[in-house]
Structure 1
């Protein structure tokens, strides 16, 4: 029986679909849902103080967005939902969080990149599928 589900949420349409799928599975299995958003720390700024300020703003915006998720899609499951904003490489942070919290299923949206683009650009969902310790459901 599945007890902990992780959704990687970035506000995209596919991540919203991932939330809907997590909701269904949470109801089916009476599972806890963890919703995380990852802020990438790399940016074009050389001034650390400027970038730190922008990063803090992004974290605050992401926290507000996750509060909306809690009060929206999961309003009646609030005791079973955990939200968190992380800073780092998205694929690595998703896998690390999943392992640290004994997640049994990761649900993530695919950006819909073709094989050629994925080869050159990389893909968060591809990275998570390759490195996760648990099953990954990719929403296309």
Structure 2
């Protein structure tokens, strides 16, 4: 069913849980796995930290075919830019499934901060698996 699975990580515990789900699905379907991390800025320190997140994520999976991509969002556009960059990567790579963790915010916090995962639902044409944090 799935041949190409993309997982967006940010180093959080929820992202780690989502990565485990993506790995399980990739192994069950013998699918390729692409781990992406989006940085907000063009500083070398941002790239170094972003690559550390990707290296840690890649080291924690046991899938047949894994690649990583560091994505760069325009800091001026906040979450909107992050979701757009991830959605573009999904389309360019041809992912059948995007796996992403969600912070599970509620009420005013969700209204003020928003959610990258929520924005991705409206931007990505492939299937999306949202992984919630442990409760």
- So what's the TM-score if we normalise by structure 2? 0.85
Q: Residue 28 of structure 1 aligns with which residue? A: 28
The equivalences for 1:52-131 within 5 A come to 52=42, 55-74=43-62, 77=63, 80-88=65-73, 89-131=81-123
Q: Distance between the aligned counterparts of 1:130 and 1:120, measured in 2? A: 18
Q: Distance between the aligned counterparts of 1:120 and 1:58, measured in 2? A: 25
SS in 2 for 1:83: strand
Max radius of gyration: which structure?
A: 1
Figure out how many residues of one structure are paired with residues of the other and give that number: 125
Q: Distance between the aligned counterparts of 1:80 and 1:69, measured in 2? A: 14
Aligned mate of 1:136, from 113, 128, 134 = 128
Q: Distance between the aligned counterparts of 1:139 and 1:131, measured in 2? A: 18
Q: Distance between the aligned counterparts of 2:4 and 2:117, measured in 1? A: 19
Q: Distance between the aligned counterparts of 2:29 and 2:127, measured in 1? A: 15
Is there any run of 5+ residues in structure 1 with no aligned partner, and where?
42-51
Q: Residue 15 of structure 1 aligns with which residue? A: 15
Q: Distance between the aligned counterparts of 1:12 and 1:108, measured in 2? A: 11
- So what's the TM-score if we normalise by structure 1? 0.83
Check whether the contact 2:37–2:53 (CA below 8 A) recurs between aligned residues.
Answer: no
- The alpha carbon displacement at 1:116 in A equals 3.6
Q: Which portions of structure 1, spanning 4 or more consecutive aligned residues, are displaced by more than 4 angstroms?
A: none
Q: Distance between the aligned counterparts of 1:15 and 1:33, measured in 2? A: 15
RMSD: 1.4
